[in-house]
């Protein structure tokens, strides 16, 4: 399921409050079925030209919520609607005609699927990088200490599905280390994997470094050699749905904003690497 956040242009937040916004979202990101907010104003033609809809990987929820707020403050009258879910699901929705204006994926292959169907307008830009992380419940009741421990038959491992970027990254890392993974569950987003680990429904799971940071004391990160070799690059692009519409200019401004210095600062604070 996706988390949709619609926010209005009445926001008065400034970049100085971004850290607080990140902390506030950290307590609610696991509630992926929820949505909040009110509608923006429409013009006489029924098209909200001052409103853009951004589809973004679930792992971007905290920094993108903060950046959308500061962007609205810097671009008076603008509204940014956010829809977070697994990148693979979002790509499918866009290909099938979902009204997205911007797409930020957790890997290049997923955004390339959209681009191959003519769903991207203009160039694709690199946004950030992230690294897979092996996490266990904070008490680590199964005593997992290495990647190889995941081969034990008594371990309940949860992964993202293979078509989801976090799932592909985990499998690439394990394959390089010669470790066979046998998950008891495959999820559609990294948020779902993290939720099962923190709830004690799984003994271990692969998420991203940023998700492990956000979870804080609720999880313990198990060091995995060469994890950086399986790092993923997040791309972002304006969609074909925005091209030629009254929303295209605003969509391009948002992409420029999040790939610029302000966006990179917020993403770095959230644990992402620079592209």
**Local confidence pLDDT in tens for the 275 residues of the chain:** 455 554 533 333 334 444 444 434 443 333 333 333 333 333 333 345 799 999 999 999 999 999 999 999 999 999 999 999 999 999 999 999 999 999 999 999 999 999 999 999 999 999 999 999 999 999 999 999 999 999 999 999 999 999 999 999 999 999 999 999 999 999 999 999 999 999 999 999 999 999 999 999 999 999 999 999 999 999 999 999 999 899 999 999 999 999 999 999 999 999 999 99
CA 262 distance to own-chain centroid: 18
- State both tokens at 126: 């690199």
H helical segments located in the chain: 18-26, 61-74, 87-95, 108-116, 165-177, 190-198, 209-215, 248-259, 261-269
- State both tokens at 80: 């940014």
CA 207 distance to own-chain centroid: 11
**Cα–Cα distance for residue pair 75/77, rounded to 1 Å:** 6
CB 275 within 8 A of CB 232: no
Question: pLDDT value at position 150?
Answer: 98
Widest CA span in the chain: 62
**Cα–Cα distance for residue pair 259/238, rounded to 1 Å:** 13
Question: pLDDT value at position 52?
Answer: 98
**Cα–Cα distance for residue pair 94/256, rounded to 1 Å:** 21
CB environment 82-115: b (16+ within 10 A), e (fewer): bbbbbbbbbbbbbeeebebbbbbbbbebbbebbb
Question: pLDDT value at position 5?
Answer: 52
What's the whole-model pTM score?
Answer: 0.80
Name the strand (E) or helix (H) holding 79.
Answer: strand 79-85
Question: pLDDT value at position 78?
Answer: 97
Question: pLDDT value at position 66?
Answer: 98
Name the strand (E) or helix (H) holding 105.
Answer: none
Question: pLDDT value at position 148?
Answer: 97
Short-list 135, 124, 105, CA closest to 232: 105
- State both tokens at 198: 């923190």
- State both tokens at 181: 């993974």
Task: Look up residue 92 and give its DSSP letter.
Answer: H
Q: Which are the contacts of 132, defined by CB distance < 8 A and separation ≥ 6? A: 166, 169, 170, 173, 206, 207, 208, 209, 224, 227, 230, 231, 232
Question: pLDDT value at position 48?
Answer: 53
């Amino acid at each position: 399921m996706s988390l949709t956040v619609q926010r209005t242009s009445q926001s008065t937040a400034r970049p100085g409050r971004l850290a607080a916004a990140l902390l506030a979202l950290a307590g609610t990101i696991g509630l992926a079925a929820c949505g909040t907010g009110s509608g923006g104003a429409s013009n006489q033609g029924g098209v909200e030209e001052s409103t853009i809809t951004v589809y973004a990987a679930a792992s971007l929820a905290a920094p993108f919520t903060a950046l959308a707020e500061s962007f609205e403050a810097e671009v008076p009258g603008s509204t940014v609607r956010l829809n977070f879910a697994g990148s693979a699901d979002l790509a499918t929705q866009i290909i099938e005609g979902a009204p997205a204006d911007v797409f930020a994926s957790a890997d290049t292959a997923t955004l390339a699927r959209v681009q191959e169907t003519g769903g991207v307008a203009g160039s694709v830009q690199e946004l950030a990088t992230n690294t897979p992380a092996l996490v266990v419940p904070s008490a680590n009741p199964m005593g997992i200490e290495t990647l190889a421990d995941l081969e034990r038959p008594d371990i309940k491992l949860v992964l993202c599905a293979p078509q989801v970027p976090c799932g592909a990254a985990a499998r690439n890392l394990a394959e390089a280390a010669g470790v066979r993974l046998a998950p008891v569950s495959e999820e559609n987003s990294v948020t779902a994997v993290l939720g099962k680990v923190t709830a004690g429904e799984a003994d271990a799971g692969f998420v991203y470094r940023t998700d492990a940071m956000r979870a804080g004391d609720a999880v313990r990160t198990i060091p995995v050699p060469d994890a950086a070799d399986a790092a993923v690059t997040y791309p972002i692009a304006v969609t074909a749905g925005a091209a030629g519409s009254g929303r295209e200019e605003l969509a391009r401004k948002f992409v420029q904003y999040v790939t610029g210095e302000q966006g990179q600062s917020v993403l770095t604070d959230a644990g992402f690497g620079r592209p």
